[in-house]
């Protein structure tokens, strides 16, 4: 499951269930236990706590357990559907991770540009509110605050070098207004840019 070989896993599960059926050991108690163990196996593989995993959990537990293992056919169908939903959930999570990583990289290399939510969201074909939600989940910070934090971090590097004026550093880091830069810098560091440089 962790290596993504869900087809092989399904074949092995079906072979195991057929063996249990043939041997007559597949009692209702056995099927109940198998159902819950399989659910636990899938849930343990959830490594992106959030909306995708919650949606996955809801979808695979829609049917009642009794309905799911009422027959071998029903159980096999539930297993197939669960594995398909698991793959889709992992792909959605990976796609979102990629979107956040892409936006982070873009921000890092375009700190001096105008960076607003709509522009960044359009770049990865997402709704601005949804991208903000993903960012908050990934970084613990809103998208706008993340941009400001990265700009302040870059300005600290440039201030430490001492080669550029504070005004040029502000502009290079995307702050067109020097007083706004000073306010944000002090809010973040507890010092003015000049005090930090000194």
**Pair (158, 118) in one structural domain:** yes
Q: Which residues contact 60 (CB under 8 A, 6 or more apart)?
A: 39, 42, 78, 81, 82, 85, 86
**Pair (187, 166) in one structural domain:** yes
Q: How many residues does the chain have?
A: 198
Number of domains observed in the structure of the chain: 2
Whether 179 contacts 194, CB under 8 Å: no
Cβ burial of 62 (10 Å; 0-12, 13-18, 19+) is exposed
How far apart, in whole angstroms, are the C-alpha atoms of residue 161 and residue 196?
11
Q: Which of 142, 141, 154 is nearest to 113 (CA)?
A: 154
How far apart, in whole angstroms, are the C-alpha atoms of residue 84 and residue 173?
45
Asked if residue 104 is part of any domain, the answer here is no
**Pair (178, 130) in one structural domain:** yes
**Pair (87, 139) in one structural domain:** no
Task: Identify the domain containing residue 130 by its residue range.
Answer: 110-197
Which of 72, 97, 122 terminates a domain? The answer is 97
Q: What is the pLDDT of residues 68-118, one digit of tens each?
A: 767 778 888 888 888 888 877 776 666 677 888 889 999 999 999 989 889
**Pair (91, 129) in one structural domain:** no
**Pair (10, 93) in one structural domain:** yes
How far apart, in whole angstroms, are the C-alpha atoms of residue 164 and residue 19?
75
**Pair (128, 57) in one structural domain:** no
Strands (E), the chain: none
The helix (H) or strand (E) run that includes residue 91 is helix 72-109
Asked if residue 105 is part of any domain, the answer here is no
Asked if residue 103 is part of any domain, the answer here is no
Q: What is the pLDDT of residues 133-189, one digit of tens each?
A: 888 888 899 999 999 999 999 999 999 998 899 999 999 999 989 999 999 999 999
**Pair (116, 80) in one structural domain:** no
Question: Structure pTM?
Answer: 0.57
Q: For the chain, what is the mean pLDDT?
A: 84
């Amino acid at each position: 499951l962790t290596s993504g070989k869900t087809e092989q896993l399904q074949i092995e599960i079906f072979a195991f269930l057929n063996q249990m059926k043939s041997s007559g050991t597949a009692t209702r108690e056995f099927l109940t236990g198998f159902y819950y163990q399989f659910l636990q196996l899938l849930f343990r593989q959830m490594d992106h706590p959030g909306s995708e995993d919650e949606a996955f959990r809801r979808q695979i537990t829609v049917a009642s357990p009794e309905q799911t293992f009422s027959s071998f056919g029903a159980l096999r169908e539930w297993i197939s559907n669960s594995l398909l939903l698991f793959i889709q959930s992992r792909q959605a999570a990976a796609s979102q991770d990629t979107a956040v990583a892409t936006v982070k990289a873009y921000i890092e290399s375009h700190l001096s540009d105008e960076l607003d939510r709509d522009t960044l969201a359009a770049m990865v074909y997402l709704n601005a509110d949804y991208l903000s939600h993903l960012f908050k989940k990934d970084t613990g910070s809103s998208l706008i605050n993340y941009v400001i934090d990265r700009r302040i971090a870059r300005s600290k590097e440039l201030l430490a070098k001492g080669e550029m004026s504070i005004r040029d550093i502000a502009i290079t880091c995307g702050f067109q207004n020097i007083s706004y830069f000073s306010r944000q810098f002090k809010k973040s560091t507890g010092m003015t840019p000049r005090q930090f440089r000194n």
